[in-house]
Chain A
Amino acid sequence: MTIQTEPFIVNIGPQHPSTHGVFRMRVVLDGEKIIDADMVVGYLHRSLEKLAEERTYTQNIPFTDRMDYLSAMSNNLGYCMAVEKLAGIRVPERGQYLRVIMAELQRIANHSMAIGTFINDCGAWQTPLMWMFAEREKILDLFEMTCGARLTCNYMRIGGVAFDIPDEFLPAVNGLLDDLPRKIDEYEKMLMENEILIARARGVGTIPRDLAINASLTGPMIRGCGIPFDIRKADPYAVYDRFDFAIPVGENGDSYDRFLVRMAELRESVKILKQAVPALPGGPYKVDVPLSVRPPVGDAYARVESPKGELGYYIVSDGGTAPYRFHVRAPSYINLSVLREMVIGASVADSIVALGSIDIVIGEVDR
């Protein structure tokens, strides 16, 4: 005799505290168990790829801020690299270093946010989020100091960066770097040894290693499965090949491993920053590129390791001032393709944890 209960369809989202925006997951429940799931996105679709075809290459940089609004610097960087690759522009040394510094600071800020919200999804009552926000706040202050904006930085330019750093930037960033390892120790002590967190996140949202490769996962999602794929190592851009750092990988590919990977990446980013900041060379931070740059006819695909994963830009030029086709390979969108595999058979509580461990940003999913 089996107890047959009626299927129970629940909309998790679009207005829901832990869907990180307007993401919607339709799930069929049997009791608390999810027997089918379907994702609905597009509530934040702004058609950036179409808009970009009407604007010049430089005008498109602010659009990239609005995609993954939690890591605007990396988004800028990827786009500028794609245009530079298309137009054959070489960025001066100081510009490269500034780009790396900003991108790594952004990675720390983004991972702080990701870890905080992930533990919030596990049910902590805002405390880890607030603790993580404290560090993110200092980094956003650094961004504000440099480019005047905290979230949508619009800092990178084709051929370099928009502004040189102000005088008070270097002392501030050095102070932060001295402070951060101690803080990260504190977080590890608070979070990693937490029995309830392990019980909640271990074995939840497990992705098999083969599926992780086959489903084009990138970033902490694929590294959590034990595959050390990181563009900074595999395809070093800017000046990443000059720094000594390691790629943290997990073992089982569950939510807890992804959390561990993000935690360890905080340390690795600090390590890179500690090498990059003292080595910051003098000289120009930017080459002169005409505002309405006209790359030659052709296409180019450039990619960076954004905090969410591989962020790629595919740009087709017809020789004019605007891109003919502008495509974004959005990591959090493609990472979502295993959502069904992660949540089916899990309970509602586990599905929220699994979703939180992907670290999606709806601005990037929907574009």
Chain B
Amino acid sequence: MTALCGYVLSEWYDLRDLGNPVQALLDWINGWGDGSTFHWLAYVVAGLIGAAAIGLFLGIAMLSLIWIERKAVSRIQIRYGPNRTGPFGLLQPVADALKLMQKEALTPLAGDKYVFWLAPVVIFIPTLLVFGVLPFGPKMTAANINVAVLYIVAVGSATPLVIFMAGWSSNNKYSLLGAMRGIAMAISYEIPMVLSLLGVVLFTGHMDLNGIVQWQQKYHVWLIVLQPLAALTYFISASAELNRTPTDIAEAESEIVAGYHTEYSGMKFGLFYAVELGNALAVSGIWATLFFGGWWLFGLDRWIPAWLIFLGKMYILYGALILTRGTLPRLRIDQLLDFAWKFLLPLALVNVLVVAAEVTIWQENGISAGWVLPIAAVINIVLSGVLIVGYTQTFGFARRQRPRRARLVTDTLAAMPQ
């Protein structure tokens, strides 16, 4: 009995981190033969398990996201949302998927049918690849590569090209307009995004996500406290590329019908829809990892499974995306690009400068982290507040154009132009 208890409580069975059983399995395979004969098999098995886990997670997450998003947005819009399929409309995502699968996938006659077919398939790849490096737990990273931060940006930079493929091959003017808008926006927002990530990398000295989480664990602080500017610029610039409402100019429903996927129907459209949700989840996952401590929650991760903490943070941050989507009108493309170049880029640059100075002072003089980090946090928070408020007051739209009310006229004849 004690043996069984010990076995159950021993590390490989520990469900707080699903990486443990996998590691045990791999060790077992490696133990076959004389140590290195079946090394390749362990490698293959590890890859397969990682890929299958991510595929499974993404599938389930997308189904759940459809329901969450529809339900949350419908509550914002004072209506019920899906409530006919199953309890609380829980089966709505399944019904949606089935409907999309039954629909005919049309291909425009004058379009480029190979590229047209390829685009929804290829656009799935970056989404999947990003999830490959997210640390779901201390040992739950499918591919723990040491340039993960840069890798996320690099993989994401392939998306505008796929959007262009979809828009161009449709041979539709709305699609082409949407694709061009999408590209123009993506290349503008990549720069503040990279710069904001640079601040995090400078501060922690790590480029792999697990290392960043462990740094936060080591110093017992969330990076959003130390890097509020970077967190803000990253959130804005990353969510700008998601094609969600305040920045959905690439598919702008009221202007260019559905942008680059106007001509897609059936499950091809479904893939675009799913990728949109998947990308949003990935962005909230990265945000949670970099700025909200990832799987670490002030020691609570000793009792709660780390992956549950991470999923919880991811979904809560996804709620922020739903909120912005449900409440804001869309910006015009020139305003959006102005915002990237004239607001986010200077802020991110200032942030990098300040962080570099702080880190240099800290590392060169060997001051203890207990002194540096609180001071740096206060400096950065105050600085970001001052910068944002100052910027909006000096250059922002609010200063020049205050909202007014209409003027009320009672004596109309006297007020008429003569």
Residues of the B chain whose Cβ atoms lie less than 8 Å from the Cβ of A17:
253-254, 257
**In the complex, which residue of chain B has the Cβ closest to the Cβ of A224?**
B406
Interface residue? B2 (CB, 8 A): no
Interface residue? B365 (CB, 8 A): no
The one of A126, A209, A234 that contacts B77, using a Cβ cutoff of 8 Å: A126
Q: Are A196 and B328 in contact (CB under 8 A)?
A: yes
Given the known interface contacts A17-B253, A123-B254, A348-B256, the answer about A260 and B405 at a Cβ–Cβ threshold of 8 Å is yes
Residues of the A chain whose Cβ atoms lie less than 8 Å from the Cβ of B406:
248-250, 257, 260-261, 263-264
Q: Are A194 and B78 in contact (CB under 8 A)?
A: no
Q: Are B173 and A10 in contact (CB under 8 A)?
A: yes
Residues of the A chain whose Cβ atoms lie less than 8 Å from the Cβ of B181:
32
Interface residue? B398 (CB, 8 A): yes
**In the complex, which residue of chain B has the Cβ closest to the Cβ of A123?**
B330
The one of A10, A16, A192, A248 that contacts B407, using a Cβ cutoff of 8 Å: A248
In whole angstroms, what is the CA distance A10 to B257 when docked?
12
Interface residue? A350 (CB, 8 A): yes
Q: Are B326 and A352 in contact (CB under 8 A)?
A: no
Q: Are A119 and B329 in contact (CB under 8 A)?
A: yes
Given the known interface contacts A17-B253, A196-B328, the answer about A246 and B78 at a Cβ–Cβ threshold of 8 Å is no
Q: Are B332 and A194 in contact (CB under 8 A)?
A: no
Q: Are B416 and A229 in contact (CB under 8 A)?
A: yes
Interface residue? A51 (CB, 8 A): no
B327-378 residues with Cβ-Cβ distance < 8 A to A are: 327-335
Number of residues from A at the complex interface, CB < 8 A = 60
Given the known interface contacts A200-B331, A213-B417, the answer about A248 and B408 at a Cβ–Cβ threshold of 8 Å is yes
The one of B77, B255, B331 that contacts A199, using a Cβ cutoff of 8 Å: B331
Residues of the A chain whose Cβ atoms lie less than 8 Å from the Cβ of B302:
none
Given the known interface contacts A192-B403, A227-B417, A249-B407, the answer about A347 and B332 at a Cβ–Cβ threshold of 8 Å is yes
In whole angstroms, what is the CA distance A268 to B248 when docked?
36
Interface residue? B139 (CB, 8 A): no
Residues of the B chain whose Cβ atoms lie less than 8 Å from the Cβ of A131:
77-78
Q: Are B333 and A32 in contact (CB under 8 A)?
A: yes
Residues of the B chain whose Cβ atoms lie less than 8 Å from the Cβ of A246:
408-410
Least distance between B86 CB and chain A CB atoms (Å): 24
In whole angstroms, what is the CA distance A268 to B408 when docked?
9
In whole angstroms, what is the CA distance A247 to B409 when docked?
5
Q: Are B329 and A228 in contact (CB under 8 A)?
A: no
Residues of the B chain whose Cβ atoms lie less than 8 Å from the Cβ of A130:
77-79
Q: Are B407 and A200 in contact (CB under 8 A)?
A: no
Residues of the A chain whose Cβ atoms lie less than 8 Å from the Cβ of B254:
17-18, 120-123, 352, 356
Residues of the B chain whose Cβ atoms lie less than 8 Å from the Cβ of A337:
none
Q: Are A349 and B333 in contact (CB under 8 A)?
A: yes
Instruction: Give per-residue flags for A343-355: 1 if the beta carbon is below 8 A from chain B beta carbons, else 0.
Output: 0000111101000
Interface residue? A288 (CB, 8 A): no
Given the known interface contacts A125-B325, A260-B405, the answer about A32 and B177 at a Cβ–Cβ threshold of 8 Å is yes
In whole angstroms, what is the CA distance A251 to B416 when docked?
13
Interface residue? B305 (CB, 8 A): no
In whole angstroms, what is the CA distance A230 to B249 when docked?
38
Given the known interface contacts A130-B79, A131-B77, A248-B407, the answer about A125 and B326 at a Cβ–Cβ threshold of 8 Å is yes
Instruction: Give per-residue flags for B54-85: 1 if the beta carbon is below 8 A from chain A beta carbons, else 0.
Output: 00000000000000000001001111000000
Interface residue? A174 (CB, 8 A): no
Q: Are A200 and B76 in contact (CB under 8 A)?
A: no
The one of B329, B335, B396, B412 that contacts A124, using a Cβ cutoff of 8 Å: B329
**In the complex, which residue of chain B has the Cβ closest to the Cβ of A262?**
B406
Interface residue? B252 (CB, 8 A): yes
Residues of the A chain whose Cβ atoms lie less than 8 Å from the Cβ of B334:
347
In whole angstroms, what is the CA distance A125 to B329 when docked?
7
The one of B79, B397, B409 that contacts A228, using a Cβ cutoff of 8 Å: B409
In whole angstroms, what is the CA distance A29 to B174 when docked?
12
The one of B248, B257, B330, B398 that contacts A16, using a Cβ cutoff of 8 Å: B257
Interface residue? B246 (CB, 8 A): yes
In whole angstroms, what is the CA distance A134 to B416 when docked?
36
Least distance between A154 CB and chain B CB atoms (Å): 29
Least distance between B326 CB and chain A CB atoms (Å): 5
**In the complex, which residue of chain A has the Cβ closest to the Cβ of B174?**
A10
**In the complex, which residue of chain B has the Cβ closest to the Cβ of A213?**
B417
**In the complex, which residue of chain A has the Cβ closest to the Cβ of B335?**
A199
Residues of the B chain whose Cβ atoms lie less than 8 Å from the Cβ of A213:
417
Least distance between B136 CB and chain A CB atoms (Å): 31
A221-239 residues with Cβ-Cβ distance < 8 A to B are: 226-230, 233-234
Interface residue? B404 (CB, 8 A): yes
Interface residue? B413 (CB, 8 A): yes
Interface residue? B401 (CB, 8 A): yes
Interface residue? A41 (CB, 8 A): no
Interface residue? A127 (CB, 8 A): yes
Least distance between A69 CB and chain B CB atoms (Å): 21
In whole angstroms, what is the CA distance A260 to B406 when docked?
6
Interface residue? A198 (CB, 8 A): yes
Q: Are B333 and A196 in contact (CB under 8 A)?
A: no
Interface residue? B415 (CB, 8 A): yes
Residues of the A chain whose Cβ atoms lie less than 8 Å from the Cβ of B404:
251, 260
Least distance between B37 CB and chain A CB atoms (Å): 58
Interface residue? B170 (CB, 8 A): no
A125-143 residues with Cβ-Cβ distance < 8 A to B are: 125-127, 130-131, 134
Interface residue? A167 (CB, 8 A): no
In whole angstroms, what is the CA distance A8 to B172 when docked?
11
Most chain B CB within 10 A, of A32, A125, A233, is at: A125
Interface residue? A168 (CB, 8 A): no
Residues of the B chain whose Cβ atoms lie less than 8 Å from the Cβ of A119:
329
In whole angstroms, what is the CA distance A347 to B73 when docked?
29
Residues of the A chain whose Cβ atoms lie less than 8 Å from the Cβ of B407:
226, 248-251
Q: Are B417 and A200 in contact (CB under 8 A)?
A: no
In whole angstroms, what is the CA distance A213 to B417 when docked?
10
**In the complex, which residue of chain B has the Cβ closest to the Cβ of A134?**
B78
Residues of the A chain whose Cβ atoms lie less than 8 Å from the Cβ of B403:
192-193, 198
Q: Are B412 and A230 in contact (CB under 8 A)?
A: yes
B244-276 residues with Cβ-Cβ distance < 8 A to A are: 245-246, 248-249, 252-257
Least distance between B71 CB and chain A CB atoms (Å): 14
The one of A10, A29, A227, A349 that contacts B252, using a Cβ cutoff of 8 Å: A349
In whole angstroms, what is the CA distance A350 to B330 when docked?
11
Residues of the A chain whose Cβ atoms lie less than 8 Å from the Cβ of B413:
234
**In the complex, which residue of chain A has the Cβ closest to the Cβ of B410?**
A246
Q: Are B77 and A200 in contact (CB under 8 A)?
A: no
11 chain-A/chain-B pairs, Cβ below 8 angstroms? A123-B252, A123-B254, A123-B330, A123-B331, A124-B245, A126-B77, A229-B412, A234-B413, A248-B408, A261-B406, A350-B332
Q: A residues touching B (Cβ–Cβ < 8 Å)?
A: 8-11, 16-18, 29, 32, 119-127, 130-131, 134, 192-200, 202, 209, 213, 226-230, 233-234, 244-251, 257, 260-261, 263-264, 268, 347-350, 352, 356
Q: Knowing that A10-B177, A194-B329, A260-B405 are A-B contacts, what are 11 other residue pairs whose CB atoms are under 8 Å apart, sorted by A's residue number?
A: A121-B254, A123-B254, A199-B331, A209-B417, A226-B407, A245-B410, A247-B409, A248-B406, A248-B407, A347-B332, A350-B332
Nearest 3 interchain pairs by C-beta: A123-B330, A248-B406, A130-B77
